[in-house]
Chain A
Amino acid sequence: MLEIKNINVHFGVIHALKGVSLTVNEGEIVTLIGANGAGKTTTLRTVSGLKKPTDGQILLEGKDIISSSPQDRVLMGISQAPEGRRVFSAMTVLENLELGAYLRRDKKEIAKDLEKVYNHFPILADRKKQLAGTLSGGEQQMLAIGRAMMSRPRILLLDEPSMGLAPLFVQEIFNIIRDINKAGTTILLVEQNASMALQIANRAYVMETGSIVLSGTGSELMQSDDIKKAYLGG
């Protein structure tokens, strides 16, 4: 479904992505793991069109989307819950979710999707009139994911959804990610929490200083000694 081919990204003289290639097939959960500063967020921002790569291709269903605007990419079915949640703090939970459906006009279907989001995250239904900035960190993460679902994406990009969350919450978020995937949304998941990510992922890529250094199925990588040492704490 999504194919990143040999992209290079620079920030001035910093060469942040060095010929990165990765593929996400329809229906999969693919995870991208790696240490701080490896280039995971940059990869997702490039897929969403917030950062222009120096060269390389990004194909969605075989069509190159490099020159498409971020808006067009949302319309084509790419949606992202960014790193650090980035909810609209001075707007209500409901307004945040409505903004997720900004480009849609099908009111009835939007209402259905809102119900779906509330089913995944019942707490958001209770808090819909509350300002997003007053939610707890975990609730904000749920809102960020729910908001990203409101565009009815075909592929959902999640950037460190477990960041800063208590272990119990992390488990819950991962369960929900799996549910969203089962309901038919393809997922590209960036994580620092490698063990959790590898457990739910069909396939995984490991990134180090701007390059993909390893890839395989989730269980293959969990067995790999390098991964155990570097990311799984032994």
Chain B
Amino acid sequence: MEQLFQQIINGISLGSIYALIALGYTMVYGIIKLINFAHSDIYMLGAFIGYFSMTTLKLGFIPSLFLSMLFCTIIGVVIEKVAYKPLRNATRIAVLITAIGVSLFIEYTTMAIAGAGVRAYPQMTGFLTGAYRLGSVNITVHQIVIVSITIILMVSLQFIVKKTRIGKAMRAVSLDRDAAELMGINVDTTISFTFALGSALAGAAGILVGLYYNSINPLMGMLPGIKAFVAAVFGGIGIIPGAMIGGYFIGIVEVLVSGYSNSLYRDGVVFAILILVLIIKPTGLLGKNSREKV
């Protein structure tokens, strides 16, 4: 029983990271129906910026978190403007291929600048170290930090999307772009803002994963990126709460599988889940089958 609790606690911290990445996939998909393959690389950049911020610039963890979120926001917006916006009226497959190109470009540019090797994430100091014990369950401060930051970011995101003017514009453009334009909503600005939000969350996930795995490399985005995408599909692509639920679900499943059976199976199980979702409920857990009234 204690072991189960322990695994679930570990799963929740890993799931937080998947959830943060999944949100970016789902929001971008919601608004321009693009699976943004470059999104996982923005997460990787977030991890590298956090690394350099804490080592070269010697900034603390929280300032580094803000710096990587800011950097990723800018990169996300630039990618959209340069690579996707010119293709606004192109076929979806053309945009998808462009996204793969952008992804490779970021990965190999990072390799050229930072080297292809694995780097150990800087040791945390001060309040960021240590652990608490509840019975025989061990909760590290890292885990508490990961989960609390994720919750703060998710609550802020919900507030932005539900309550603010630009958030309402985002939802309107996702639901019906032409109708949104008739309201006077600037679709380009709204799409940029969506990329900004998703990329900021990916940046945060990047620096948080440094706490979780302690090591980073330029290709580190690939597998978590795909899992976060599975999380988004699991929850219902385009649906924000779905991405949150999906992220935690995939994180917990992955940790349980590694804990109770062979950890070699953990990636396979995630894909098995994807296949099952696509067979049983392709619109995902929270997805509705689209219906129209006449």
Contact = CB atoms under 8 A, between A and B. Distances in A.
B165, B178, B180: residue with the most chain A Cβ atoms closer than 10 Å: B178
A70 B293 contact: no
Contacts of B175: 88-91
B80 to A, nearest CB: 19
Give chain A's interface residue range (CB within 8 Å of chain B). 20 to 34
Nearest to A103: B184
Contact of A137 (B165, B179, B184, B293): B293
Interface string B211-242: 00000000000000000000000000000000
B181 A137 contact: no
A140 B293 CA distance: 9
B179 A71 contact: no
Contacts of B183: 74, 99-100, 102-103, 147, 151
Given A82-B178, A86-B178, A86-B179, A151 B171 contact: no
B182 A80 contact: yes
A79 B181 CA distance: 10
B172 A88 contact: yes
B35 to A, nearest CB: 21
Nearest to B179: A86
A69, A88, A91, A100: residue with the most chain B Cβ atoms closer than 10 Å: A88
Interface in B176-195: 176, 178-186
Interface string A82-115: 1000111111000100111011000000000000
Contacts of B182: 48, 50, 70, 74, 79-80, 82, 86, 148
A87 B171 CA distance: 12
A88 B171 contact: yes
Contact of A95 (B168, B179, B294): B168
A56 interface: no
Given A91-B172, A99-B168, A151-B183, 12 more contacts: A48-B182, A70-B182, A80-B182, A88-B172, A88-B179, A89-B175, A90-B175, A99-B172, A99-B185, A100-B183, A148-B182, A151-B184
30 contacts: A48-B181, A48-B182, A50-B178, A50-B182, A70-B181, A70-B182, A71-B181, A71-B184, A74-B183, A79-B182, A80-B182, A82-B178, A82-B182, A87-B179, A88-B175, A88-B179, A95-B168, A99-B168, A99-B180, A99-B185, A100-B183, A102-B168, A103-B184, A133-B293, A136-B293, A137-B294, A140-B293, A151-B183, A151-B184, A164-B294
